[in-house]
Structure 1
């Protein structure tokens, strides 16, 4: 252990480095996982893919008119193999998968599910939330009245023993999951862990895996894991309706004008269509036709995503280099090294994540609030910080990472000096 004089010297050095960075007057933002303008430019041809009277799908559907609550079949055929969902069990909707999530959960609260028609909202209703996890999941569920139960994660996925223990309560209706490149850790659930979740006993007959494949296509490297066929795993385990799959092209094409997807077991798809048909007459089929023409086939989607990787992989590498160079020799923090997705998770010494975020804000680097990765915004150890390097330019990411390192070093030596 360093002597008090050594610690004071290192604190002085860290304070000077921080002050130097803060004096630059920068305004940098690595808070949310948005695509950069260069990524959005990759899909510019979408804007001219449909024009004039050229508005018919290959099967002859006039996309200008009402109907087609399932979405156009040609687009569903493109994404079905990518998402490991049979075409007949995949719906295509509007631009936000979050809307599909809200609709599905609301229908369950009001009407029950395809497995059990007793409305979830008639009694206590709870959801398991793997942590660190996705803040939008937590916010949505909390807004609908669910009690959120934190469930620990390891490098293979959620802790199944703890999830099973919590699911002995019949009020526990499901579990949030980001199976591929989890937000924010980048963890990909293993096939064995997914199989355990598919077969896991639960007191609620309609216990549901809310399987958000938000990053299923977002690989940073050529070698990458394959998307899991969770529907088959659930069917093999005797729970064919357990998984509700969500995905979208929000980080594939234009974030504000993409297409969302919902996949599930056959009975749940019928349930979803029946409920959707009461609140909508059909999605934006013109936009779906744009996407179908732009991609042509599944291989077109994969080729497009390789272009995304060429833009964002260097930004991830820049952050990881800065963390290794600035923190790797002192053991002041640890971080994930994701192979895909949109985030890096930084874990600080206990009790200082909020201090790091505050220091960064004062130095011109906006970070996601400490605690956002946990239900109710409360990280009990106050250690987790989510880093989102995709939207800024590479130069800005490099600067933001340098600033973040300076903040972590200052907050860490402050804590060590305080004993």
Structure 2
């Protein structure tokens, strides 16, 4: 436990700054080139999946279809069945697509924007369209809205998910609010797991917009690192509440097998899937069935996925240990940072003193460590308090990560001390 720097006198702060400047200059002299800017798998993590490249002894699916040819808009049966068993979703609710769940999310947003749903006015014809954005959140979700000119409304995150009192109030009052982004398990970047109560309230809440949609991006649904969190079934909750069409569910193997060469899915109600098939059939005659087939033959079944994810957890746990242990050793008790301790997922979220996040990221960049941009986890890249930083520990080696985290902590202290000196 370090001393509380936030309570130091000006003289003590100046002494602390001199020591931090010296340490920081030492890191700069090392000419580091380390990247912690995105949640990319490392080479050693990708190596665990290399056998998937050798799993096409033949090209015939379980229903006798040649996967090398056209067709199969909904995906091969064995892929739909695997994801059904893994995620607890009725197989009839699932369409297995290409490699990218983000692509499927963008397509879903575009269909609602251009064509509307259930006979309601297409969003593009409305005077205003708004979306709720739990924040900090996933920057690429926010970019989809920004690309289409959809107004984003930040909603604070709690330890149980988005602030549901605020969500319920907003959606009940404003029919321009058409949806909410959700990463319900090990959320990006805080690692929050939505509580059963949060799932139930999202499913049952009264919305002024009859075509309100939950974009349920379960990106880390099987990424358990320390222990498994259970997520309540959103489909069951929506059906029980009388809102069966409310949810659009997304998932992919991008961080299970190979990013850019994984398999993604969208799942929803029969009514929603009918609309999706109608427009998807114009987009494509069928997705990459060969990739679906080799992925399923490698993973085999739901237990095969869980077995593979245990290997992945063994690969990632030492890196999360490095991040959390270094933060604890260097910053606990200093009054300059607090952080999440996720049980799974891909990120650790760190909050530094207000007005310091951009300074920390800039200091790290100058010393050769690239971090996710300050504000990236907020709509329009605007963190109102300039305090949140997303740590992505997966890509560097353990040795590189240890060095990067030690430098990061020096940058947090230096930015914090500089801020305190401005006010004393």
Distance 2:68 2:32 in 1: 47
Query: 2:12 matched to 1:6?
Result: yes
Equivalent position of 1:39 in the other structure: 45
1:119 paired residue among 110, 119, 122: 122
1:249 equivalent in alignment to 2:253:
yes
Show structure 2 runs of 5+ residues with no match: 1-6
CA contact (8 A) 1:82 1:227 kept: no
Is the Cα contact below 8 Å between 1:84 and 1:227 reproduced in 2? no
Contiguous gaps of at least 5 residues in structure 1: none
Q: Shift of residue 166 of structure 1?
A: 2.0
2:283 aligned counterpart, secondary structure: coil
How far apart are residue 227 of structure 1 and its match? 3.3
The corresponding residue for 1:169 is 174
CA distance, structure 1, for counterparts of residue 28 and residue 418 of structure 2: 17
Contact 1:180 1:187 in 2 (8 A): yes
Distance in structure 2 (CA, Å) of the matches to 1:346 and 1:290: 39
**RMSD, aligned α-carbons:** 1.0
The match for 2:209 is 204
Residue 155 (structure 2) pairs with residue 151 (structure 1): yes
Matches within 5 A, 1:161-310: 161-167=165-171, 168-221=173-226, 223-310=227-314
Partner of 2:3: none
**In the alignment, does 2:23 pair up with 1:17?**
yes
Partners of 1:82 and 1:298 within 8 A in 2? yes
TM-score with structure 1 length normalisation? 0.97
Does residue 349 in structure 1 map to residue 361 in structure 2?
Answer: no
Residue from 407, 415, 418 that aligns with 1:414: 418
What is the Cα deviation at residue 121 of structure 1?
1.2
Q: Secondary structure at the match of 1:203?
A: coil
2:32 maps to 1:26: yes
Aligned residues: 415
* Residues in 2 aligned to 1:198 and 1:84: alpha-carbon distance in whole angstroms: 17
Partner secondary structure for residue 324 of structure 2: helix
Q: Cα deviation per residue 1:324-368 (whole Å; 9 max; x = unaligned)?
A: 111113121001111111100010000010000000000111011
- Could you tell me whether the CA contact under 8 Å between 2:131 and 2:150 is conserved in 1? yes
| Shift of residue 116, structure 1, vs aligned partner | 3.9
- Tell me by how many angstroms 1:81 deviates: 2.7
1:58-73 paired onto structure 2 within 5 Å: 58-73=62-77
1:26 and 1:365 in contact (8 A); partners too: yes
The whole-number CA distance in structure 1 between the counterparts of 2:381 and 2:195 is 27
CA drift of 1:39 comes to 1.3
Structure 2 distance, partners of 1:2, 1:313, is 36
